[in-house]
């Protein structure tokens, strides 16, 4: 369960270009919920994920993960509770290391010990997990990750982010850089991991259709705060048209400039 | 005197292993070795002259090098300066420290009492030529070092170290403090340089404050020549490759010294030869195609 309380993030503080990217944002996500986050460019979606992960400092407010205030922890300490997949398939993995070493690195959070990284039992377990991806990676353990395709690499990144069962999984348009077939594959894996591992997920997307189809709840952001929050039956009956309508109302009619983003 | 080249290659190969760890594994261009190498030579040499048991003296040389690495790491992380500047600061300061350790002189002879070389040259009982015995002794020492490093790079810490130079994000995501991890790596790299310095002092018969001059380039050339030899993404192979590269590099230098006059090369030209070797190795690995030169590891 994660809870953001009046979170503020300010870029260029005190300078001439000061910008309030998150503005008193409050959001509570119960354990096991899959939340899709949409909004136009500059709405603060990625900053929201950065704030939860600890990549940007908060100007005000606090963030609780499983009830404990994590707002002041550095990113690497908070990583114990956070799994993350970025848009760029290259971002989350070490390309010059093997598939097995990458997964072993991610399989345990916290300081490293002087202990064999991949004892044979762990190796078998990781191999089984890789087989679940259905991409044949279980037979390519010793290959460097930069030899994988974008889809394979993103699927591996997703597994790496999920395997330690973090308290929250952050997905930052993680299928946007993939071709439609791989995007569908990775989306399917995401649904499966979220369900199987009981993960709480915050998934940012530009794609309204996907936001409607996926997740238990849809949150719309605008100018750094939540402007719409739909879940349950209301979400099931959502359509792109109604979402556009909702969006238009929150923006007070200046919808035209965002036309391309919404379709 | 080919055995001499082999011994020299192995002794300086330990330094090249350190350079490999900083430049290749950590992707941290560290010039500190230019200071930690003579620092290790000075500390090791001074302790040997003071009749400290050789294993302790060598251990102290490793620690001295590691300390130099810690200084660079502190400057780098504390002041957020570029790696090159942090290394230059440490190496410049260390020169004065070396002179103090060497008793106010730039040079400390080990001729009268050189237990490391004596042990190396007689460890097989004296049946063989002493220089061959020394070669075999150093082959065992460096072989054990490579095995230990290989083992280390298969531990959780070692894998994280490899990932750090590749993609820091993946390390942070695993809940590891990148600053601490990088510091460990820099200390390890410079510890090896210090150890190499102490062995070099024994091999040369003296410790010298100017031992470090040009040593980074020599280490880099060794690493790159090694990478040119064969391709592998296994860390053990990459480490062994560094040693081979170092022996080959010393061989080329030896050839330059011995027969270079045929091509008009004098000992004064050896630095230029080193530079050409580095550029040549980079160019050759680019030409061979593939990924960034040498950027494949376990």
Report pLDDT digits (tens) over A161-209. 999 999 999 999 999 999 999 999 999 999 999 999 999 999 999 888 8
Closest residue in A to B161 (Cα) is A112
Q: Is the Cβ pair A105, B167 closer than 8 Å?
A: no
Contact B155 A98 (CB under 8 A): no
Closest to B174 (Cβ–Cβ): which among A96, A109, A146?
A: A109
CA nearest neighbour of B113 among B185, B53, B184, B25: B53
B154 touches chain A (CB under 8 A): yes
Backbone angles phi, psi at B273, to 5 degrees: -60, -40
ipTM: 0.91
Q: Report the SS3 class of residue A239.
A: coil
Residue B26 touches partner A, C-beta closer than 8 Å: no
Tell me: the pLDDT tens digits for B63-114? Answer: 999 999 999 999 999 999 999 999 999 999 999 999 999 999 999 999 889 9
Test A95 with B166 for CB contact under 8 angstroms.
yes
Contact B167 A114 (CB under 8 A): no
Q: Is the dihedral of CA B116, B119, B122, B124 positive or negative?
A: negative
Task: Kindly write down the DSSP assignment for every residue of B9-34, as one continuous string.
Answer: HHHHHHHHHHHIIIIIIS-----THH
Write down the pTM of the prediction.
Answer: 0.91
Q: Residue B234: what pLDDT?
A: 92
What is the domain count for chain A? 1
Specify the CATH number for the domain of residue A36: 3.40.50.300
Q: Which residue of B has its CA nearest to A143?
A: B233
- Which one is predicted more confidently, B280 or A250? B280
Give the orientation angle of helix B54-79 with respect to helix B115-122, to 10 degrees.
120
Residue in A144, A229, A153, A234 with CA at minimum distance from that of residue A189: A153
| Domain residue limits at A230 | 2-262
The residue among A25, A35, A36 whose CA lies nearest residue A62 is A25
Topology of domain B2-287, per CATH? ABC transporter involved in vitamin B12 uptake, BtuC (1.10.3470)
pLDDT at A14: 87
Residue B257: band (very low, low, confident or very high) from pLDDT cuts 50, 70, 90:
confident
In this structure, chain B runs to a length of 298
pLDDT of residue B288: 63
Model confidence over B115-145: pLDDT tens digits?
Answer: 999 999 888 876 788 888 999 999 999 999 9
Measured CA to CA, the distance from residue B141 to residue B58 in angstroms comes to 12
What is the domain partition of chain B in residue ranges? 2-287
Within 10 Å of residue A98's Cβ, how many Cβ atoms?
23
**pLDDT band at residue B43, thresholds of 50, 70 and 90?**
very high
Question: SS3 of B276, please?
Answer: helix
Give the pLDDT confidence score for residue B1 in this predicted structure. 64
For B156, which of A79, A84, A112 is closest by C-beta distance? Answer: A112
A76 interfaces chain B, CB cutoff of 8 Å: yes
First to last CA, chain B: 36
Q: What is the pLDDT of residues A74-85, one digit of tens each?
A: 999 999 999 999
Range in A52-56, A220-224, A246-250, B166-170 the model is least confident about: A246-250
């Amino acid at each position: 369960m994660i809870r953001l309380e009046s979170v503020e993030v300010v870029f260029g503080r005190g300078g001439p270009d000061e910008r309030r990217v998150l503005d008193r944002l409050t959001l509570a996500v119960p354990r096991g919920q899959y939340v899709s986050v949409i909004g136009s460019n500059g709405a603060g979606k990625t900053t929201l994920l950065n704030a939860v992960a600890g990549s940007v400092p908060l100007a005000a407010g606090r963030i609780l993960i499983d009830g404990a205030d994590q707002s002041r922890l550095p990113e690497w300490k908070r990583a114990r509770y956070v799994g993350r997949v970025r848009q760029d398939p290259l971002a989350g993995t070490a390309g010059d290391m093997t598939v097995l070493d990458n997964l072993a690195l991610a399989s345990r959070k916290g300081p490293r010990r002087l202990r064999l990284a991949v004892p044979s039992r762990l190796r078998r377990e990781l191999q089984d997990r890789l087989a679940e991806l259905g991409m044949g990676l279980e037979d390519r353990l010793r290959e460097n990750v930069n030899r994988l395709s974008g889809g394979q690499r993103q699927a591996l990144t997703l597994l790496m982010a999920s395997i330690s069962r973090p308290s929250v999984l952050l997905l930052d348009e993680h299928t946007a850089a993939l071709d439609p077939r791989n995007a569908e594959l990775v989306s399917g894996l995401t649904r499966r991991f979220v369900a199987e591992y009981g993960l709480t997920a915050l998934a940012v997307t530009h794609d309204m259709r996907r936001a409607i189809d996926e997740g238990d709840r849809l949150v719309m952001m605008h100018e750094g705060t939540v402007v719409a929050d739909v879940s349950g039956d209301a979400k099931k009956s959502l359509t792109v048209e109604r979402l556009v309508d909702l969006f238009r109302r929150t923006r007070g009619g200046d919808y035209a400039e965002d036309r391309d983003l919404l379709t | 005197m080919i055995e001499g080249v082999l011994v020299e290659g192995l002794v300086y190969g330990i330094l090249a292993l350190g350079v490999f760890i900083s430049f290749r594994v950590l992707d941290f261009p560290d010039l500190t070795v230019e200071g930690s190498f003579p620092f290790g030579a000075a500390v090791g040499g001074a302790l040997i002259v003071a009749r400290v048991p050789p294993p302790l003296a060598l251990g102290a040389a490793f620690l001295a090098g590691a300390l130099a690495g810690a200084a660079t790491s502190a400057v780098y992380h504390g002041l957020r300066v570029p790696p090159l500047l942090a290394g230059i600061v440490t190496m410049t300061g260390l020169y004065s420290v070396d002179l103090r350790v060497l008793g106010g002189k730039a040079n400390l002879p080990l001729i009268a009492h050189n237990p490391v070389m004596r042990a190396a040259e007689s460890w097989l009982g004296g049946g063989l030529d002493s220089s061959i015995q020394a070669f075999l002794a150093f082959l065992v020492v460096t072989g054990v070092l490579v095995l230990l490093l290989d083992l280390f790079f298969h531990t959780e810490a070692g894998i994280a170290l490899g990932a750090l130079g590749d993609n820091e994000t993946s390390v942070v995501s695993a809940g590891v403090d990148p600053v601490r991890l990088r510091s460990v790596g820099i200390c390890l790299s410079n510890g090896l340089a210090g150890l190499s310095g102490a062995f070099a002092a024994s091999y040369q018969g003296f410790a010298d404050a100017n031992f470090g001059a040009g040593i980074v380039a020599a280490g880099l050339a060794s690493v790159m020549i090694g990478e040119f030899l064969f391709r592998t993404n296994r860390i053990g192979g990459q480490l062994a490759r560094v040693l081979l590269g170092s022996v080959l590099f010393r061989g080329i230098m030896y050839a330059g010294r011995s027969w270079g006059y045929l091509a008009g090369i004098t000992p004064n030209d050896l630095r230029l030869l080193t530079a050409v070797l580095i550029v040549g190795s980079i160019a050759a690995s680019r030409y061979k195609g593939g990924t960034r030169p040498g950027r494949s590891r376990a």
